[in-house]
Structure formats: structure tokens, C-alpha cells
């Protein structure tokens, strides 16, 4: 219950009947302080053993404290006042409404709430189970009849909903990946070899996550794409299967172990560098800080760990497994087909051969059209694609802040929480409503009486009978509340985002405009001008000034010349004001297990009006009673309700949420209007914060880190090819995939945000892998066939790469479609990311397969003087080292042979 205290209510008229002026006020305090307190607990060694010495006073003893004697008659405290157990005046009111189909509706106007804070890196589910068990134990064994603890908000519900969404998304992704593999590879055994990569890579990732302290959660597993994870395995299995299928009798005579090793080594280098590029593409995410770092770094690390594990499995385990599973087929003289005949793929390949032959003949036009498409889509994206920090994460509930007129008392505002809960509870989607009016006891929310916070918990979406979205429910609630309570301003948010934003950015709004300066009056004038500009802008919602308007204050200004004439100190007046009007704690009383503070103040009749305050007597040095009004100027004035500071400077915040348009465009328009309209005095400035502050910070970091990342990827590709032309062809896949990501965001009505940016970063690595595979295949064909032309090599490489490129791109694309379409709790952050990757891979699948051969032909042909020079020089740096080693070995063998011949002659 509320904290108790022992209050001495002094009746001033009774006290004034004591003719001794020394007992007007302050002299009461010392007798009470000396007589009512308990002695401290101390030790005394007596004879053989130590004893605790304790001297306690009781509440009844306080009434009999002697203040003085008159003619031998003692004057007690009870003669001039009353002694009572008192509770502090509440500064806030908590109420709740629970409703469900089983127990109906429970509504309580006054209640007590306790909050449980979890330690950092704690397990939410484990903590939730322990708390629920403890609450059950307290309800059954400790609480009096009629009192019960109920859970109003349990964060483990959000975790469970999120994990369920992740589980369903992962299951759907694995199922799609398996079906695509069986369809394209045409062999269940080979498909199972690829699928075996998933458990190995995830186990590898979980081990590294354990060492690096990353928990399995929405943030780490929500955007896992098994299609990307198995890409290396697909390339390895497809190449080995193709070599098995095309193997001649002489090659089979080498033995399956030797043959499989050669087949694996053909693509091992490309797999290693492709996976390295995908991991390097996540460098910008590894550099994230604050909120964005907490949200996306776990995902980047998890995917990197899983891809690294998949690469190890593809380079080591898959050749061994393929050797074991296909030994009988390889050694059989008449083994039959290695895979089922895919008529659909044969038809696609036939059509693709015709298309690619035509496009290579028209290579300049093909590249020109592709460049126009890329330029057009990027231009549209620049002008049409808005920006925001993050999509709003659906937490399964609402937080509403209601702002009543300034100056309303707690008693006056108490009537509204119940009425608002009645309005909200009419919606069957709501199961919990918690209202907190004013300030809570622990002081974590120091709000005035005109502030009401409402938490709304929603049922599981599957239990909603009315088929509406959460956003539609929000609009209905806002309209109902604003219609029912005119003059009250409402602001909508969500519990976790509300607390996080307010703690980090100082406001829960999408945008906070901070007016910083010294004079509050000037700052408020500027703030009102900014508010008018915001109110006139499209997309502004729930706007207002965060700090309330001035509220009535009783201003007591002491006249120092007057108090000097009466020999009174300023501290004496301040102590009287504090004790008589406020409440002065003078001692502590212990009674059993309870501890009470002893406070002294005037009774309510003598301090509730300005006139009674003016008549409070102050004792002069000569013992005269001087009214307070003779010693101070007492006025009722308007003064600031709250004063906020930022970096030591006063500030007033103008806040607004942004609905129906992007944050970046809104702020850019507001900046122009502010610079054009408002002239700031010297020493005053305007800053922009809220969610936009995070967006600006992330934008600056990406502008710095992404070029460095591209430079690193460029260096890796140059190490692989030692030729700028090949590097340019491989990197050209980035803009070809970029336009698909932009188109996906535009078609779904999403803005560019951090989640979408992470999708683009992931997309760059996957698209570059497609370019690396094609360039390496074309180079290999030119090395192996010295008499082939560059046009024929480009066409043949495109046809050979059709199946693996279709598989790798489709697997990555289809593996994320469930995440793209997910709508459950916790899916909001992953949808823009998945949309970008799916859209980008769609355009990459089309443009890389059609445009890249022509682009290769144009770029590479310019860098060589003739086809023969190209055919002899178009091998990678690593291959060149191997050939040089072979040539050195041949020279060494020839020298040894010459020495042996000379020995024979001798």
C-alpha cells in the first residue's frame, strides 16, 4: 500500500492561545524531535555476553509530548494539534480493465502496479515463467482475501508471437528450397546432399553465436535465407552432377575419387571468393551503432556464420558425399540417366539459346537498353522513394498519451480514465487496458496531473472476429477518443518503442524539433511558430509542444530589508513556509516491522488559501508575531510547468508523428520553411531529432562505409582476376539487381529505411556472386578451348551457367518470399529487407542472364588486342600461379632427364 507517516497537524489558533511567543512554530520542532524518535541500535558488553540496547517510542507517546508548562500545568501536543497516521497525497492514479470471453470484464478505478525489469542479455521466456510461478504462489498463499495480482503486460507474449512467426517463415523457406532443388537438379539424392548443408551451417552458426554472445531471436534469425546459405552447395553439386553426366569412358577409368576431386576443384575457387564477397558485403552492417546496431548486427553475424559453415561443408563434405552416393552409378558400364528428365527445363534452355544468340549479335543495343532501364528506375527511385529510419515494429498493443488542459487537478482529472477505458473496451480486439494518470510513486514518470498514459493490450490476431488491420483499429480508436473527449490531445505509440525512444532521443514522436536557448518566453514563441508550420504540412499527425504551457504558481518573494528590521533570517522564513505549507520531516518512528516518518504541518484550514498563507505568523527576534505578508510579496503568477535541458541548455520540444509520407521528405520540407520563415535571435538554435535523428546518423555512416566496402570487394575481385575488365563485368551485376530492389519498394509502397538498406547490402553480395560465376566460367571455356571465339565462349558459358544461376537466384529469391509476405507480430522489420532482396534477385535473374554476356563481350573485347591474346591470357591469378608451377616442374623434369642421359653415356 502507500507509504505511511505520522503527521502532526497543528491548529494555529490553538497554538496562538499559548501566550509565550517563543512557541509560535519552530520551538515545537525540537521537543517533538527529541521526544518522538527511537534510539539507534547499539551494542553493550555486559558480564559474559553482548546485549542489544534498543529504546523505542510509540505513536501514542507523541500525543503526550510536553511543549511547556504554564502555572505548573503541562501543555501537550494533543492540546494544540492532532497526531494521526497519514498517507501522502497521491500524485497519480492507476486503473485497469481486463476483458476476455471466459471471465468477462473486470474494471478497477484504483490499483497498484509493480514493474519487473530484466537484466541485460536475460532470457525473457525463462524469466517470464519464473515470475508467473511466483505470482501464482503469492496469490495462493500470501495475499488477503479479495486482493489478487494480475499480469497486465508480459513481454514474453511478444517473444512467443515473434518466434512463432520466425518458425513458420523458416519452415516455409526450407520447404520451398527443397522443392526447387528437386525440380532443377532432378535427383532426390543430390537434393538431399544440398539440403544437408542447412543443419550443418546452422549448427556451425549456433556454436559461433554462443561464443560471441548472440541469442537466437527475431533479430538474429528473422531474415535467415536458406536459399543464400545453400548457394555454394548448389554450385558444387550441380557442377559435379554435370561432370558425372558428361563423363567419357576414359575419364571414368580414372576412378570416381580422382574425377570428383577435379570436378570440385573447378568451382572451389569461385565458391570461396563468392562467399567471401557476400560476407564482406555485410561490413556496413557490422559498423552500425545504437538502435540500428542492436537490430541488424545479430542478423549480419548469424548469416555470415551460417554462410561460412555452408562454404566449409560445400568444399569438404559435399565431394565426399557425392562420391559415396554415386560410386555405383559412376562405375557401372550402363548406369542409365543420373537424373529425371525435366522437359520444362529443356524447353526453357531451348528458348534461352535462341534469345542469348540474338542478344549477343545485338550486344551494343542490348547493353544500351539495359543502361537506360537502370538509369530510369534509379532516377524514379531518387525522386519517388521516400526515407524513414525503421518500419514500425508491431508489438501487439498500443500506448496512448492523453494531454488534458494545463492546470487541471488530479481530482478533476480522475473522472476521465474510467470513461476512456469504457470507450476503448467497446472494441472486441482489446483484452487489457491500463491507465496511469499523473506521476507514479517511484518518480520514473514525473508527469503532471494533466497527463494520462494508456496501455492497450490486444488479443491474438487469429482471435479477432472482425477482419480489420491493427492500423484500422488505431484510426478507429483515435476518432472515437477525439470525438468523445474534445479538447484532449492524443498521441499513439507502442510500449517498447515508447520507452526506448524517450530514453534515447528525448521524445516518443517520429520527429522532435528542439528549440534551444535561455529565455523560456522567447523559446515558447519560436516553438509556437514551428508548431504552426508543422500543422500546415501534409502528413503531420498528433503534433504539439512537449512541454506544457505555464501553470499557476504561488510566488513568495522575501523582502530582505523588512526581515532585517525585525532581526529575522531568510532561512527561518523558508523553514516556516516548508513546514507549515509543505511538510517537514523531523524524525523517524519505529513500530514493529514498520517505520514511520514524523512530519509536521499546519492543518488544512490554515494553509489552503492565499489569505491564510499571508497570515502565517513569523516570530521576530523580540518575540513579536509578524504576518508573512509584511515580510514578503505573495502573488499568484503563471510559471513554467517543466523545464527540459539538453547538454546543459534549456530546450522546448515540438513533436509530431508522420503519417502517410516519408520522414526524410517531411523534414526536408520543414527545414526549408523554418529557414525561410523564422528568424532566430542570437544564442538560439533549432535542432531536429526523434526517429529522424537516427535516420540522419545511419545515412552519414552508410555514405562513408559503403564506398570502403565496394573498394574492398573490388580488391578481392582484382586479386582473383588480375584484370580490371573482369572486375568491371562482375560488379556490373550490382546495378542490374539494384533496380529490382527499388522497384519492389515502390510497388509495395515502402520507404527506404535501415531494413531496406540492409537488404540492398545483402543483395550486392549475392549479385556479385552471379557475376563471378559467369566470368570464371567464360574464362575457363576460353582456356580449355584455344580455337573458340569470344562470342562463342560468352554464349556457351551463359547456357552452361543457366541451370546453376537459375537455381542459386531462385533459391535465394523463393527462400525469402515467406518473409516478404509475412504479416504476424515481429514481421514488420524483416519485410522491407526481404522485399528488396526478392525484387533485386528477380531483376538480377532476368538481366544477368540476358545482359551480362553482351556486357562481357563489349568490356573484355576492348581490353584485349586480339582473340588469341585474350585466349592465352584470360585465366585467373591463382590459375596463372598453378601454370607457372607446372612449367617450372616441367623444366626441372627435363633437367633431370638430361642428367640421367649424361650418366648413361659415361
Q: How many CB atoms lie within 10 A of CB 212?
A: 11
**Between helices 830-863 and 754-784, what is the axis angle to 10°?**
30
Whether pLDDT at 194 is above 70? yes
- CB-CB contact of 564 with 423 (8 Å): no
> pLDDT tens-digit profile of 786-840?
778 888 888 888 888 787 778 777 777 776 776 666 665 556 667 788 888 888 8
How long a stretch of residues is the chain?
A: 906
- CB-CB contact of 281 with 709 (8 Å): yes
Question: Tell me, what CATH number does 217's domain have?
Answer: 1.20.1640.10
Q: What is the mean pLDDT of residues 458-466?
A: 80
Q: Is residue 610 part of a domain?
A: yes
Q: What are phi and psi of 402, to 5 degrees?
A: -110, 135
Instruction: Tell me which of 622, 639, 656 is where a domain ends.
Output: 639
> pLDDT tens-digit profile of 134-146?
888 888 887 777 7
Q: Report how far apart the first and last C-alpha atoms of the chain are (Å, whole number).
A: 113
> pLDDT tens-digit profile of 383-442?
887 777 777 666 777 888 888 877 777 778 888 888 888 888 888 888 888 888 877 666
Distance CA 293, CA 277 (A): 21
Give the dihedral sign, CA 82/84/90/94: negative
State the pLDDT at residue 85. 64
> pLDDT tens-digit profile of 491-510?
887 776 666 666 555 566 77
722 vs 445, higher pLDDT: 722
- CB-CB contact of 512 with 654 (8 Å): yes
Q: Is residue 136 part of a domain?
A: no
Q: 878 pLDDT band (50/70/90 cuts)?
A: very low
State the pLDDT at residue 523. 83
- CB-CB contact of 232 with 310 (8 Å): yes
Q: Are residues 318 and 193 in the same domain?
A: yes
Q: 4 pLDDT band (50/70/90 cuts)?
A: low
State the pLDDT at residue 505. 56
Instruction: Tell me which of 577, 609, 639 is where a domain ends.
Output: 639
Q: Is residue 729 part of a domain?
A: no
Kind of pairing between the strands at 5-10 and 81-86: antiparallel
What does the radius of gyration of the chain's CA atoms come to, in whole angstroms? 39
Q: Are residues 60 and 197 in the same domain?
A: no
What is the share, in percent, of the chain residues with pLDDT greater than 70?
Answer: 70
Distance CA 191, CA 238 (A): 10
Q: Are residues 337 and 225 in the same domain?
A: yes
Q: Are residues 70 and 202 in the same domain?
A: no
Lowest mean pLDDT among 79-83, 237-241, 300-304, 315-319: 79-83
The residue whose grid cell reads 524513414 is 388
> pLDDT tens-digit profile of 514-541?
888 888 888 888 888 888 888 888 878 7
Whether pLDDT at 717 is above 80? yes
Q: 1 pLDDT band (50/70/90 cuts)?
A: very low
DSSP 387: B
- CB-CB contact of 182 with 188 (8 Å): yes
3-state secondary structure (DSSP) of residue 557: strand
- CB-CB contact of 338 with 244 (8 Å): yes
In terms of phi and psi (left: phi > 0; alpha: psi -120 to 50; beta: otherwise), the region of 345 is alpha
Q: Is residue 575 part of a domain?
A: yes
Q: Is residue 361 part of a domain?
A: no
The DSSP element (H or E) to which 517 belongs, if any, is strand 511-517
Kind of pairing between the strands at 5-10 and 594-602: parallel
Q: Residue 897 belongs to what domain range?
A: 880-906
State the pLDDT at residue 872. 46
Whether pLDDT at 784 is above 70? yes
3-state secondary structure (DSSP) of residue 288: coil
Nearest residue to 804 (alpha-carbon basis) of 243, 281, 276:
243
In terms of phi and psi (left: phi > 0; alpha: psi -120 to 50; beta: otherwise), the region of 69 is beta
- Domains in the chain: how many in total? 3
State the pLDDT at residue 606. 66
Q: Are residues 193 and 313 in the same domain?
A: yes
Question: Tell me, what CATH number does 81's domain have?
Answer: 3.30.2090.10
Q: What is the mean pLDDT of residues 341-370?
A: 84
Q: What is the mean pLDDT of residues 765-778?
A: 83
Instruction: Tell me which of 639, 666, 682 is where a domain ends.
Output: 639
54 vs 402, higher pLDDT: 402
Q: Is residue 152 part of a domain?
A: no
609 vs 25, higher pLDDT: 609
Q: 340 pLDDT band (50/70/90 cuts)?
A: low
Beta-bridge partner residues of 636: 554
Give every CB contact of residue 245 below 8 A, 6+ residues apart in sequence.
338, 339
Q: Burial letters for 151-173: b for 16+ Cβ neighbours within 10 Å, e otherwise?
A: eeebbbbbbbbbbebbeebbebb
83 vs 230, higher pLDDT: 230
Lowest mean pLDDT among 351-355, 587-591, 646-650: 587-591
Q: Is residue 456 part of a domain?
A: no
Which ranges of 732-789 would DSSP assign to H, the alpha helix? 733-748, 754-784
Walk across the sheet containing 5-10 and list its strands: 81-86, 5-10, 594-602, 584-591
Q: Are residues 70 and 199 in the same domain?
A: no
146-155, long-range: CB < 8 A, 24+ apart: 150/96, 150/98, 152/96, 152/98, 152/113, 152/432, 152/434, 152/455, 152/457, 153/397, 153/432, 153/434, 153/455, 153/457, 153/495, 154/128, 155/118, 155/124, 155/128, 155/496
Give every CB contact of residue 579 below 8 A, 6+ residues apart in sequence.
25, 29, 600, 601
Which cell numbers hold the place of 353?
539459346
Whether pLDDT at 239 is above 60? yes
Nearest residue to 617 (alpha-carbon basis) of 74, 22, 76, 77:
22
- Cα separation values, 16 from 128, 135, 612, 625, Å: 60, 54, 14, 10
Q: Is residue 799 part of a domain?
A: no
Q: Are residues 201 and 67 in the same domain?
A: no
Amino acid at each position: 500500500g502507500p507509504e505511511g507517516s505520522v503527521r502532526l497537524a497543528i491548529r494555529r489558533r490553538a497554538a496562538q492561545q499559548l501566550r509565550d511567543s517563543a512557541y509560535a512554530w519552530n520551538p515545537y520542532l525540537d521537543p517533538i524531535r527529541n521526544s518522538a524518535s527511537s534510539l539507534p541500535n547499539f551494542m553493550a558488553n555486559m558480564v559474559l555476553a553482548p546485549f542489544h540496547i534498543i529504546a523505542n517510542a510509540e505513536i501514542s507517546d507523541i500525543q503526550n509530548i510536553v511543549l511547556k508548562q504554564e502555572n505548573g500545568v503541562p501543555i501537550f501536543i494533543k492540546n494544540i494539534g492532532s497526531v494521526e497516521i497519514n498517507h501522502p497525497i497521491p500524485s497519480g492514479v492507476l486503473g485497469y480493465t481486463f476483458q476476455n470471453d471466459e471471465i468477462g470484464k473486470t474494471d478497477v478505478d484504483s490499483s497498484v502496479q509493480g514493474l519487473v525489469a530484466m537484466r541485460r542479455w536475460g532470457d525473457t521466456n525463462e524469466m517470464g515463467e519464473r515470475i508467473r510461478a511466483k505470482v501464482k504462489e503469492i496469490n495462493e498463499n500470501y495475499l488477503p482475501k479479495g486482493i489478487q495480482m494480475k499480469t497486465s503486460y508480459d513481454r514474453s507474449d511478444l517473444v512467443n508471437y515473434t518466434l512463432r512467426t520466425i518458425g513458420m517463415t523458416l519452415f516455409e523457406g526450407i520447404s520451398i528450397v527443397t522443392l526447387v532443388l528437386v525440380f532443377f537438379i532432378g535427383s532426390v539424392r543430390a537434393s538431399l546432399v544440398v539440403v544437408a548443408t542447412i543443419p550443418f551451417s546452422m549448427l556451425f552458426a549456433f556454436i559461433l553465436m554462443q561464443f560471441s554472445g548472440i541469442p537466437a531471436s527475431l533479430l538474429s534469425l528473422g531474415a535467415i535465407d536458406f536459399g543464400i546459405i545453400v548457394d555454394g552447395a548448389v554450385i558444387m553439386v550441380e557442377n559435379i552432377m554435370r561432370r558425372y553426366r558428361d563423363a567419357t569412358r576414359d575419364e571414368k577409368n580414372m576412378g570416381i575419387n580422382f574425377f570428383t576431386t577435379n570436378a570440385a576443384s573447378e568451382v572451389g575457387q569461385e565458391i570461396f571468393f563468392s562467399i567471401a564477397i557476400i560476407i564482406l558485403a555485410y561490413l556496413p552492417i557490422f559498423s552500425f551503432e545504437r538502435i540500428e546496431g542492436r537490430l541488424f548486427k545479430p542478423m549480419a553475424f548469424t548469416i555470415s556464420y551460417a554462410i561460412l559453415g555452408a562454404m566449409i561443408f560445400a568444399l569438404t563434405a559435399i565431394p565426399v558425399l557425392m562420391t559415396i552416393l554415386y560410386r555405383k552409378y559412376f562405375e557401372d558400364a550402363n548406369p542409365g540417366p543420373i537424373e529425371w528428365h525435366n522437359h520444362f527445363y529443356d524447353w526453357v534452355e531451348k528458348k534461352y539459346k535462341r534469345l542469348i544468340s540474338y542478344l549477343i549479335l545485338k550486344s551494343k543495343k542490348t547493353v544500351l537498353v539495359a543502361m537506360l532501364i537502370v538509369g530510369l528506375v534509379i532516377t524514379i527511385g531518387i525522386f519517388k522513394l521516400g526515407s524513414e529510419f525503421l518500419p514500425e515494429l508491431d508489438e501487439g498493443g498500443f500506448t496512448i498519451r492523453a494531454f488534458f488542459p494545463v492546470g487541471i487537478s488530479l481530482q478533476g482529472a480522475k473522472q476521465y480514465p474510467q470513461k476512456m477505458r469504457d470507450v476503448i473496451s467497446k472494441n472486441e480486439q482489446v483484452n487489457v487496458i491500463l491507465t496511469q494518470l499523473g506521476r507514479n510513486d517511484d518518480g520514473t514518470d514525473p508527469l503532471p496531473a494533466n497527463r494520462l498514459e494508456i496501455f492497450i493490450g490486444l488479443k491474438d490476431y487469429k482471435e479477432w472476429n472482425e477482419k480489420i488491420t491493427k492500423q484500422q483499429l488505431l484510426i478507429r480508436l483515435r476518432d472515437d477518443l477525439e470525438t468523445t473527449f474534445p479538447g484532449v490531445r492524443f498521441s499513439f505509440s507502442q510500449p517498447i518503442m515508447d520507452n526506448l525512444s524517450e530514453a534515447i532521443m528525448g521524445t516518443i514522436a517520429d520527429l522532435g524539433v528542439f528549440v534551444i536557448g535561455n529565455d523560456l518566453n522567447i523559446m515558447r514563441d519560436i516553438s509556437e511558430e514551428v508548431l504552426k508550420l508543422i500543422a500546415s504540412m501534409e502528413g503531420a499527425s498528433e503534433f504539439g509542444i512537449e512541454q506544457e504551457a505555464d501553470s499557476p504558481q504561488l510566488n513568495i518573494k522575501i523582502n530582505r530589508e523588512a526581515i532585517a528590521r525585525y532581526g529575522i533570517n531568510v532561512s527561518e522564513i523558508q523553514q516556516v513556509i516548508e513546514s507549515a505549507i509543505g511538510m517537514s520531516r523531523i524524525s523517524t518512528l519505529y513500530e514493529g516491522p514498520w517505520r514511520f516518518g514524523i512530519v509536521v504541518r499546519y492543518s488544512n484550514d490554515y494553509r489552503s488559501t492565499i489569505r491564510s498563507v499571508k497570515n502565517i505568523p513569523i516570530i521576530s527576534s523580540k518575540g513579536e508575531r509578524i504576518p508573512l505578508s509584511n515580510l514578503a510579496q505573495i502573488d499568484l503568477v503563471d510559471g513554467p510547468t517543466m523545464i527540459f535541458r539538453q547538454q546543459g541548455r534549456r530546450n522546448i520540444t515540438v513533436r509530431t508523428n508522420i503519417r502517410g509520407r516519408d520522414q526524410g521528405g517531411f523534414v526536408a520540407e520543414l527545414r526549408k520553411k523554418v529557414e525561410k520563415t523564422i528568424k532566430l535571435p542570437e544564442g538560439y538554435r533549432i535542432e531536429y531529432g526523434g526517429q529522424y535523428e537516427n535516420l540522419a546518423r545511419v545515412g552519414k555512416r552508410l555514405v562513408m562505409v559503403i564506398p570502403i566496402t565496394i573498394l574492398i570487394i573490388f580488391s578481392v575481385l582484382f586479386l582473383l582476376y588480375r584484370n580490371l575488365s573482369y572486375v568491371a563485368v562482375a560488379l556490373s551485376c550490382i546495378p542490374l539487381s539494384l533496380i529490382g530492389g527499388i522497384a519492389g519498394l515502390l510497388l509495395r509502397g515502402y520507404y527506404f529505411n535501415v531494413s531496406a538498406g540492409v537488404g540492398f547490402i545483402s543483395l550486392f553480395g549475392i549479385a556479385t556472386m552471379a557475376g563471378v560465376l559467369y566470368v570464371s566460367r567464360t574464362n575457363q571455356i576460353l582456356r580449355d578451348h584455344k580455337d573458340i571465339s569470344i562470342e562463342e565462349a560468352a554464349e556457351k558459358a551463359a547456357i552452361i551457367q543457366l541451370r546453376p544461376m537459375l537455381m542459386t537466384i531462385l533459391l535465394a529469391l523463393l527462400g525469402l518470399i515467406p518473409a516478404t509476405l509475412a504479416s504476424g507480430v515481429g514481421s514488420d522489420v524483416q519485410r522491407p529487407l526481404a522485399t528488396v532482396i526478392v525484387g533485386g534477385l528477380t531483376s538480377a535473374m532476368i538481366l544477368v542472364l540476358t545482359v551480362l554476356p553482351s556486357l562481357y563481350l563489349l568490356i573484355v573485347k576492348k581490353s584485349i588486342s586480339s582473340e588469341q591474346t585474350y585466349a592465352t591470357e584470360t585465366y585467373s591469378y591463382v590459375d596463372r600461379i598453378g601454370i607457372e608451377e607446372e612449367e617450372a616442374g616441367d623444366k626441372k623434369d627435363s633437367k633431370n632427364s638430361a642428367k640421367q642421359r649424361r650418366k648413361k653415356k659415361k
